[in-house]
Amino acid sequence: MEMRRLGRTDLLVSRICLGTMTWGQQNTEAEGHEQMDLAFERGVNFLDTAELYSIPPKPETQGSTERIVGSWIKARKNRQDVVLATKVVGRTANDWYRGGRPSRLVRADIFDAIDKSLKRLQTDYVDLYQIHFPERKAPWGANPTRVGAWPAERDPDETPIEETLAVFDDLVKAGKIRHLGLSNESSWGVMRFLFAAERGIGPRVVSVQNAYNFVNRTFEVNLVEVADREDVSLLAYSPLAQGYLTGKYNHGARPEGARTTLFNRGQRYETPHAAEAFVAYTDLARSFEMDPALFAGAFVLNQPFVTSSIIGATSIPQLRVALQSAEVKWTKDMQAAVDDLHQRMGNPCP
């Protein structure tokens, strides 16, 4: 497995990162351990989790994924071999993260979050601590193709980025985290964090975890230049568009046991014209005699600005396909065909 440098750090991460958000609901602890065993056998060294997980978020399963990751690390005694990433929630009215009150990106809440995560993960530190989503009001994913009414309404008590960043500086100094990353963030947000760090306020952001796939290439619009010039690594999540790019939901199908069937949380990928795009991309994959899931995963891995692609699976066969995407020989003809289709389809699912 090829390793790539994370931002300007000395950390080398595998070009595939194992996502974990289904563990604790769709997957048991034993299944999570089995997935981590297989991924690490295949050269993966990078795990991504969050205090919010498992998905869908609810109080009775919150933190379950971190606990499963922690029990695996303890059992395998391999903490030194794992690049471990987790996340703190942004502003949310859901009160179960902070013991009965809403959460914000302020000192008390961030310290509460990291201490609980470290306990669940059974470790003294995390390598990459990410802000799961901004505290300010912003469209989910922070990179819409259309923003609607503007200027956006702002919360009167919005926490300044500088205030939040200063807390992460204290976490680094305390040895609880090594590096800071963002997630679901815009180019403005990334640059504001970088600007504050240049002024000496806190640690420099090393990564941004945003969605990137055939039906959402908004990262290329302007964040790609930020990532390139500022050495901020893209950790691309949802390479299969929550499973829609596998073709299993084509023509309204709802397979038994699939995430959208179970939880009805596919709204991000059920936007106008999205259904046509999924059929077109799965047909394109088959024209190259390739499994649609393999084709979609290989596309993400072979874009030059992607440091690591965060894969997810609920079964070992799915995981094997996702890992196999690192072995695909991506050709100029494949890229040209994808770009041609994207020019016609655009980004229906940002």
Q: How many Cβ atoms are within 10 Å of 99's Cβ, its own excluded?
A: 9
Torsion of the alpha carbons at 151, 156, 161 and 162, rounded to the nearest 10: 130
Report CA-CA distances (Å) from 189 to 74, 179, 181, 205, 234.
36, 17, 12, 11, 14
Contact 13/6 with Cβ under 8 angstroms?
yes
Among 53, 97, 212, 237, the active-site one is 53
Tokens representing residue 116 in the block: 């609980």
Question: Does the annotation mark 269 as catalytic?
Answer: no
Contact 51/92 with Cβ under 8 angstroms?
no
> Who contacts 38 (Cβ-Cβ below 8 Å, separation ≥6)?
316, 319, 320, 323
Contact 307/13 with Cβ under 8 angstroms?
yes
Q: Is 284 helix (H, G, I), strand (E, B) or coil?
A: helix
Q: How many Cβ atoms are within 10 Å of 123's Cβ, its own excluded?
A: 19
Report CA-CA distances (Å) from 43 to 13, 24, 35, 189, 307.
10, 24, 13, 33, 15
Cα-trace Rg, the chain: 19
Distance (Å, rounded) from C-alpha 321 to C-alpha 217?
A: 22
H/E stretch holding 3 reads strand 3-5
Q: Which residues are known catalytic residues?
A: 53
